Amino acid sequence: MLDIRAIREDAQGVLSRLRRRDPTLDLDDVLRADERRRELIRRVEDLRRERNEGSQAVAALQAEGRRSDAQARIEELRSVSAELKTLEEELTSVESSLHDALLRLPALPSDDVPDGAADEKLVLRTWGSPAEMPFTPLHHVILGKQLDLLDLERAARIAGSRFPLYTGLGARLEMALLQWMLELHVREHGYRAVLPPILANREAFLVSGQLPKFEEDLYKCAEEDLYLNPTSESLLVNLHRGEILEAALLPLRYVAYTPCFRREAGTYGEESRGLIRMHQFNKVELFQYCVPEDSDARLEEIVGQAERVLQLLGLCYRVTLLTVQDLAQQSTKTVDLEVWLPGQGRYYEVSSCSNCGDYQARRGDIRYRDPADGAVRHVHTLNGSGLATSRLFAAILEQNQDEHGVVRLPQVLAERLGVEVLR
């Protein structure tokens, strides 16, 4: 959520930054609601003061035995109370409208985020290069079926299209990936492990930024007013909702495993085939709370930690900086890791690492006490996939296949499974 004081003080500057994301955005409703809110607050405070002073005057008149004067004053106060009630109701309505309008505005992009459409992302660096394969590489769907690792036909029978079913060594490989990544981030990177609920209430998703704008993308349990987790960022950002943290404890680093659920409506073609774009997938998520001046460095840290996973797996990937029009609602800056899939001849995102600034912290009232002056300020929040396994699983199969459809596992996984090749 944006700071209404910052909008009030520099509306044109805030608007120019917002319009980098969406040229159609405006602040007219926000500014009108804010102006009316302040007018109402002033009038309500005046009426409350008048009512209080009048009540004291009535008490004094009654004490003096001046009953007729006291009754006349009471009649005057009735009209004050009636106007006050009307204005208090309007103030509640205006404050609700202002809050809703602020919730729908996206985070302000960082100055170093480039302009441009989603397909104009900036490639920052690559690690490894796509291997020259003297044969036509197979798609992971074919490899998964041949090696008895995936059964997407039975998955569709159970739940419909775009749900996974891992079988045999495929199921063990998926679980090995998740456990290995979680332990890597705990032991090597100093994160605290969390296994959160996979259902959350409406307030949790308002804080994270999925609501109110993206409700149609969420799976909802209507009777309980709970939503299925689309990414554990939505859960981890609520760990300290409404709290004031001590600066000495920051940064706080959490890592969580959760299954994730997304409707992903309207996506068809090659991107919806196999494990590329699923309604359900597994993910290890990195999340940090930090002081504002450290958040740029914390983003680089998270990116490096996600890269470490790919490097230990020996997978070719690249690092890209998203443009303003490709940023998520809550993100001020996002760096993606994209892994090479030779069966499709292209890179796919396997980790999205974002600095959300104080956007989520304002929505969740998450603050820290600055030891320098004792002031209470909003923290910055950051998140990154560390990693999502579905496309990672696909990359392991496709990058490590040979001309016979045999897959040699990365050493870290072979050691866990006691199997070096899948054939």
Catalytic (active-site) positions = 262, 277, 349, 352, 391
Residue with tokens 């996002």: 334
Q: What 3 state SS string does 311-362 have?
A: HHHCCCEEEEECCHHHCCCCCCEEEEEEEEECCCCEEEEEEEEEECCCHHHH
3-state SS assignment for residue 69: helix
Rounded CA separation 38/87 (Å)? 12
Spatial separation of the C-alpha atoms in residues 114 and 106, rounded to whole Å? 16
Both tokens of 370, joined, read: 């600055």
Do residues 332 and 356 make contact, with C-beta atoms less than 8 angstroms apart? yes
Residues 6 or more apart in contact with residue 400 via CB below 8 angstroms: 407, 408, 409, 410
Q: DSSP labels for 100-120?
A: HHHHHSPPPPPTTSPPS-GGG
Query: Which phi and psi angles does 56 have, rounded to 5°?
Result: -65, -40
Q: Which two tokens stand for residue 385?
A: 């996939």
Q: Using an 8 Å Cβ cutoff, are 382 and 287 in contact?
A: yes
Q: Which long-range contacts (CB under 8 A, 24 or more apart) does 49-52 make?
A: 50/80, 51/77, 51/80, 51/81, 51/84
CA distance 249 to 373: 17
